[in-house]
Amino acid sequence: MRVAVIGGGAAGFFAAIHAKENYPDAEVSLLEKTNKLLAKVKISGGGRCNVTNASTSIKELSDAYPRGAKLLKKLLREFSTQHTREWFESRGVPLMVQEDQCIFPVSQDSQSIIDCLMHACRKLDIKILTKHNVKTIVPKDGQLVLGFMNQDIQPMKMDKVILATGGTPKRSGLEWLEAMGHQIADPVPSLFTFNMPKEKITELMGVVVNPATVSIQGTKLRATGPLLITHWGMSGPAILKLSAFGARTMQEMHYRCVAQVNWVNVKSFDEVLSELQRLQADAPKKQLSNQRPYLLPNRLWEYLLQKADLALDKPWHELGRKSLNRLVTLLTKDEYQVSGKTTFKEEFVTCGGVSLSSVDPQTLQSLAVPGLYFAGELMDVDGITGGYNFQAAWTTGYIAGQLR
């Protein structure tokens, strides 16, 4: 049996390794269109590679996928986060769990993951071919014939093909799959930060608030977690999670909306008001700037006081009910104009791809082309930050590699 895996990323390597392990006599070839292998693995997590997440709850894990949750809820039972940890550690890559449940190699170097995957391929005698850009896949006489952009490369006849080419930012990159009979979900960016060019809060770049709750006015979109203020706007897990779940909605809004921030992560207006009144009663003569509610970062608290037109040296006892109400509103419903996004070009994640309605949910085989399988982000599957996208790559690569 001849098997081709197209795509030299995390899902492609994992699919190729498991296809060869499951069918030792098969000739497995991994084809990559560029001359770079595992490029996203190399740069992810600041070059450390967030391999997976420490959660073992299937429900908790599936909730981290804005798209593909139902599919992964089933597939994670076959290859879970625990399986991922065992797989790498049994091959000489010790892993560590951070406080935020993200898992990285102990080496803190993504090269450890790359070396492990490359070693597995060499050991299994998997043929790796770079600069092999597949242009067409044509079913013929029970086989799949691969045609290439470079006409100097002869067509290849394969018995099985696994497509793991990753997300693509434009629909045009998926039209050849649509022509083969697959439904396509339009690709749009996911996991992006918010640009706020007209907001003074960018002067607080570097300030982190954890946890904060951010919502998009006029929608039901809401996310809680660490929020980072940047020189262009806002980032951090809360913003990235919000962008992932709101990928299509925000694209329809042309990335122009009002972000509402609850800096103290307390819903009740009255509860926050009571906390300010307690501070006022406990230290009436203290200056506003010296008595922070909820241990907010100093720079943020001073910024909010100025936004409320309150002098930093004003004593707490001089604060009237109107000023207190204004402060509570800023702490719980602060508003910022979003005017655009910033995506991580090298690590970009897309919402969209081959629709799951075109894929067998148990085998990941194409419902339109027998013998063709899918793995990774080429499908309409994506997760929030925290190791979830790599886990989806390992899980779907493992399933596709069964070639059932």
Indicate the length of the chain as a whole number: 404
Going by their DSSP bridges, the two strands 208-216 and 156-158 should be labelled as unpaired
pLDDT of residue 348 exceeding 80? no
Q: What is the mean pLDDT of residues 360-370?
A: 98
Q: Give the residue extent of every domain in the chain.
A: 2-188+345-400, 192-343
Give the distance between the most distant pair of CA atoms in the chain. 87
Residue 315 CB neighbour total at 10 angstroms: 16
Confidence class for position 343, pLDDT limits 50, 70, 90: confident
**CATH superfamily to which 2-188+345-400 belongs:** FAD/NAD(P)-binding domain (3.50.50.60)
Q: What is the pLDDT of residues 2-17, one digit of tens each?
A: 999 999 999 999 999 9
Name 92's Cβ contacts closer than 8 Å, sequence gap at least 6: 116
Quote the pLDDT of residue 194: 97
Beta bridge partners, 144, equal: 139, 158
pLDDT band at 224 (very low <50, low <70, confident <90, very high): very high
Number of helical H runs and strand E runs in the chain: 13, 20
Name the pLDDT band for 350 (thresholds 50, 70, 90).
Answer: confident
Through-space distance between the first and last CA atoms of the chain, rounded to whole angstroms: 13
What is the spatial distance between Cα 87 and Cα 94, in angstroms, rounded to a whole number?
A: 10
- Helix boundaries (H) for 217-320: 237-245, 247-252, 269-282, 298-307
Helix 321-333 with 298-307: angle, nearest 10 deg: 120
In the chain, pLDDT over 70 holds for what percent of residues? 99
The pLDDT value recorded for residue 349 is 84
Grade residue 189 by pLDDT with cuts at 50, 70 and 90.
very high
- Determine the pLDDT at residue 347: 56
Task: Name the amino acid, one letter, at 113.
Answer: I
DSSP per-residue codes, 307-355: HTT--TT-BGGG--HHHHHHHHHHHHHEEEEEE-EEE-STT-EEEEEE-
Distance CA 62, CA 381 (A): 11
Q: Name the DSSP class of 366.
A: B
- For residues 205-233, one letter each, b for 16 or more C-beta atoms within 10 angstroms of the residue's C-beta and e for the rest, the string is eebebeebbbbbeeeebbbbbbbbbbebb
Measured CA to CA in angstroms, residue 6 lies from 36, 158, 198, 223, 240 at distances of 13, 12, 44, 36, 29
Name the β-bridge partners of 184: 354
Res 345: pLDDT: 60
> What value, to the nearest 5°, has the Cα angle with vertex 173 and ends 141 and 27?
40
Distances (CA, A) of 173 to 30, 33, 177, 379: 20, 13, 9, 13
The mean of the pLDDT values for the chain is: 96
| Structure tokens that stand for 184 in this block | 């396509």
Task: Tell me the C-alpha distance between 304 and 302, whole Å.
Answer: 5
Once rounded to an integer, what is the mean pLDDT over residues 223-240?
A: 97
Asked whether residue 22 carries a pLDDT value surpassing 70, the answer given is: yes
- Residue 65 predicted with pLDDT over 90: yes
Confidence (pLDDT) at 169: 86
- Average pLDDT of the residues in 284-288: 95
- The pLDDT, as a whole number, for residue 346 is 56
State mean pLDDT over 372-378. 97
Q: Which is nearest to 72 in space by CA: 388, 353, 355? A: 388
Pair type for strands 27-31 and 127-129: parallel
Residues 359/365, Cβ–Cβ less than 8 Å: yes
Instruction: State pLDDT tens for residues 42-63.
Output: 999 889 999 999 999 999 999 9
